[in-house]
Amino acid sequence: MIIKKINLLTIKIHFFFYKTNNIIKIILTFLAFTCLVNSFAQLKQKNNKDSINRLIKKTTLKDDLLKLNIELVKLHSLAAEKEDARIHLLKAKSLSEVLNTKKSFYNYFYAKSFYLGRFNQIDSSIFYSKKILKDIDLSSKSEVIIPTYFLIGNSFLQNRDYENALKYTLDLKKRKGLKYGDSTEIYNRLAFIYNELKDYNKAVEYINTSLGLVRKKSDPEELVYAYSTLGTILYSKNEYQKSIENFNFAINILDDKLQKLPHYQLIQSTIKSNLGIAYYNTKEYNNAIKTLNESINKNPNENVVTESYLYLSRVFFKENNLIEALDKVNIAIDLAVKNNIKSIQIESQLLKSDILLAKKDRFNAIIASKEALKLSKNNSLHNLEIESLEKLSELLRSTNINESYQLLKLVNSKKDSIYKNKEKSIRLKSDIEYKHLETQEKLIKSNLKLEILEQKKKADRNKRYALVALIIIITTSLLIVITRQKKLIKTRKIIHEKEKELIKVKEITIEQEINYKNKQITDFAIHISKKNELLAQIRDLIKKMTLSNLPKSKSQSKEIIYFINDSISKNKEKVALYAKSSNLTDTFEKRIIDLFPDLTKSERKILILLRLDYSSKQISSQLNVSEASINNRRLSIRKKIGVEKGDNLSEFIKNL
């Protein structure tokens, strides 16, 4: 269980550092960034202890200098250089006091929380992280909020307080503006937490979501962490072979693509520690020894090294190599004491008791068991306390049966107490959940009522809007209709006036035409009258002529006189005709023009003469054309005015 906690913490810190570093690269000046890179080289090579101080002197901006010192606190902490990290933390504190801004204090508290968490002062680390999240405006875009959430989550994981770790991680998941790397890290952490809470379905769901995101981006760093977390989940489900496969995937990606990472060795040794433990559970002891030794070499994380020694001791114990087993477990105990890792200290003492018993050293085995019991009691680690009691009872059975029996009674009492506490906790949790559900139900009902009221208000508002809209539409429609009607009336008036004007123009035109025709008739009558006078004079002269000895000329004179008389008679008829037609046909001709606009002028004259009861022969004589031509024109007139062949044309014209 501890290896999974340490594995998560170590890799999380690594990824967390790179996210924060990316933000700092944007904010810091080029000079501050140069200082950071060179300080990194100094941490790796450790040849020039004064290089960081010289570079710091070149930085003049206090804000940048504060950020630089915070980065150096993190770097030295990750390299397990406690004193150097402490020096830069003090410098960061001084600079934050000089700047005297909320932002600078938050950055300093973050650095202090990071430092304390890295050197196993978990409760203090949580205190400073909570202080930041309590005082800062969480709705702001401060660059320290997201890293603080990650940090406090890691601290609760180190304390195995998975409920609080889950709470802060879910709060972080809800935040807006998370980057791709933040999202994958959150999914990985949720997978790990649910794995520790034995909710394997959710653990697998979140790790698969993380793997889906990472594969899309082809990000090798995130792939390493995702496969490592998946290996841890499978390990918890006792699927050791699948766990080994995923740990090996992570190591292969790390070795192929990420050897230049500053913390390559730390990540590799952490994953190999997990891999070695998985080999131990599959009884592949040779692979376990090899992998755990590789994990121990060059690993700056003493938490991981401590657990690796513990499992290495277990491997040697299984192989009955008691000397190596005892040697490794003593190293594990020393490291656990040094780093204040109580759980590994107790487990190591219990393992040491088993090794000593196997070596027939019952006395020292009892001492080791008593030490384990003492530590577990002092740190309220009840499961390890029961295990220590059972171990001690077994050791005392052959020497002190009464004490062994008392210890067994105590074990049963402890188990009952744990069971009752667990039962009580479950009941309490159920009550809390019930109250929570009850509160939720009330809240839902209240929200539903509010929603119904809101819907009613919205419906009423919509009705009002609809009514207003309908009134506007009706009013607009009426205005449009009225406006169009007015325009139509106005247009009709204009058309009517134009028609009146047109009728007047037509009347004037017809009147002018009639006047013109009357003038023509008058002129024609005058002409005929003069012609008749001339003919009468000629006739009178011929009568006075002496026609003796000219019998033939006498008869010719008579013919001439007859022709002249006939002409005079016809001219008189024409004058009478035109006078008559002038009076009768003014309105008739207008009607013909209106009814039959296609008729020609000569055809209209024929119709007028037909109306005056003239025959075709008379009409031909009046118009000086042949009778056949008149008949053809009559047929044409019939077609134009629509008179059938059997109908009387003269009667039809008179009825007009």
Q: At what angle do helices 401-544 and 551-595 cross, to 10 degrees?
A: 160
Which range has the worst mean pLDDT, 62-71, 127-136, 460-469, 646-655?
Answer: 646-655
Which range has the worst mean pLDDT, 8-12, 27-31, 202-206, 578-582?
Answer: 27-31
Instruction: Name 590's Cβ contacts closer than 8 Å, sequence gap at least 6.
Output: 510
Do residues 36 and 24 make contact, with C-beta atoms less than 8 angstroms apart?
yes
Whether residue 370 is contained in a domain is answered as no
The predicted-structure confidence for 16-50, as pLDDT tens digits, reads as follows 443 444 433 333 333 333 333 344 334 334 433 44
Residue 89 to residue 396: CA distance in whole angstroms: 51
Position 31 scores a pLDDT of: 35
Query: Looking at the 3D structure of the chain, how many domains does it have?
Result: 1
- Half-sphere exposure of 320 toward its Cβ, with a 13 Å CA cutoff? 0
Structure tokens at 306: 């401590």
The predicted-structure confidence for 562-604, as pLDDT tens digits, reads as follows 666 666 565 555 555 555 555 555 567 777 887 888 888 888 8
The predicted-structure confidence for 147-183, as pLDDT tens digits, reads as follows 888 888 888 888 778 888 888 888 888 887 777 778 8
The rounded mean pLDDT for the chain is 78
Residue 646 clears pLDDT 60, i.e. is over it: yes
Residue 195 to residue 133: CA distance in whole angstroms: 27
Residue 620 to residue 636: CA distance in whole angstroms: 16
Whether residue 209 is contained in a domain is answered as no
Report, as an integer, the average pLDDT of 330-358.
88
Position 33 scores a pLDDT of: 35
Residue 611 to residue 192: CA distance in whole angstroms: 121
Alpha-helical (H) ranges within 298-397 are 302-318, 322-338, 342-358, 362-378, 382-396
pTM: 0.51
How many residues in the chain? 656
Confidence band, pLDDT 50/70/90 cuts, at residue 1: very low
Buried b (16+ CB within 10 A) or exposed e, 373-385: bebbeeeebeebb
Whether residue 604 is contained in a domain is answered as yes
Whether residue 4 is contained in a domain is answered as no
Position 324 scores a pLDDT of: 92
Q: How far is the CA of 270 from the CAs of 35, 240, 266, 453, in angstroms? A: 29, 17, 6, 59
Whether residue 553 is contained in a domain is answered as no
Whether residue 122 is contained in a domain is answered as no
What count of other Cβ atoms lies within 10 Å of the Cβ of residue 483?
Answer: 10
CA angle (27 as vertex; 181, 72 as ends), nearest 5? 80
Q: How far is the CA of 205 from the CAs of 13, 195, 237, 338, in angstroms? A: 23, 11, 14, 38
Do residues 329 and 355 make contact, with C-beta atoms less than 8 angstroms apart?
yes
Report, as an integer, the average pLDDT of 353-368.
88
Do residues 230 and 207 make contact, with C-beta atoms less than 8 angstroms apart?
yes
Report, as an integer, the average pLDDT of 202-216.
85
Do residues 213 and 184 make contact, with C-beta atoms less than 8 angstroms apart?
yes
618 lies in which domain range? 596-654
Residue 382 to residue 389: CA distance in whole angstroms: 10
Q: How far is the CA of 395 from the CAs of 9, 348, 376, 409, in angstroms? A: 37, 17, 18, 15
Confidence band, pLDDT 50/70/90 cuts, at residue 402: confident
Largest CA-CA distance found in the chain, in angstroms, rounded: 210
Residue 15 to residue 21: CA distance in whole angstroms: 10
Do residues 653 and 610 make contact, with C-beta atoms less than 8 angstroms apart?
yes
Which range has the worst mean pLDDT, 340-354, 571-585, 619-633?
Answer: 571-585
Do residues 411 and 393 make contact, with C-beta atoms less than 8 angstroms apart?
yes
Report, as an integer, the average pLDDT of 620-636.
82
What count of other Cβ atoms lies within 10 Å of the Cβ of residue 598?
Answer: 8
Instruction: Name 646's Cβ contacts closer than 8 Å, sequence gap at least 6.
Output: none
Instruction: Name 403's Cβ contacts closer than 8 Å, sequence gap at least 6.
Output: 396
Residue 467 to residue 255: CA distance in whole angstroms: 74
For 47, counting Cβ atoms within 10 Å of its Cβ (0-12 exposed, 13-18 middle, 19+ buried), the class is: exposed
The predicted-structure confidence for 513-537, as pLDDT tens digits, reads as follows 776 776 666 556 556 656 766 777 7
Report, as an integer, the average pLDDT of 493-504.
88
Position 476 scores a pLDDT of: 92
Which residue from 104, 118, 30 is spatially nearest to 67, judged by alpha carbons? 104
Residue 122 to residue 167: CA distance in whole angstroms: 17
Confidence band, pLDDT 50/70/90 cuts, at residue 471: very high
Do residues 239 and 204 make contact, with C-beta atoms less than 8 angstroms apart?
no
Structure tokens at 103: 């932002």
Residue 275 to residue 241: CA distance in whole angstroms: 10
Whether residue 603 is contained in a domain is answered as yes
Position 407 scores a pLDDT of: 74
Residue 297 clears pLDDT 70, i.e. is over it: yes
Residue 523 to residue 411: CA distance in whole angstroms: 157
CATH number at residue 628: 1.10.10.10
CA 412 centroid distance within chain:
60
Residue 15 clears pLDDT 50, i.e. is over it: no
Residue 497 clears pLDDT 80, i.e. is over it: yes
Confidence band, pLDDT 50/70/90 cuts, at residue 622: confident
Give percent of the chain above pLDDT 70: 79
Whether residue 638 is contained in a domain is answered as yes
Measured in degrees and rounded to the nearest 5, phi and psi for residue 138 equal -70, -15
Position 38 scores a pLDDT of: 41
Measured in degrees and rounded to the nearest 5, phi and psi for residue 624 equal 55, 40
The predicted-structure confidence for 428-442, as pLDDT tens digits, reads as follows 767 777 777 787 788
Position 3 scores a pLDDT of: 42
Position 589 scores a pLDDT of: 74
Residue 54 clears pLDDT 70, i.e. is over it: no
Residue 347 to residue 335: CA distance in whole angstroms: 13
What count of other Cβ atoms lies within 10 Å of the Cβ of residue 33?
Answer: 18
Confidence band, pLDDT 50/70/90 cuts, at residue 611: confident
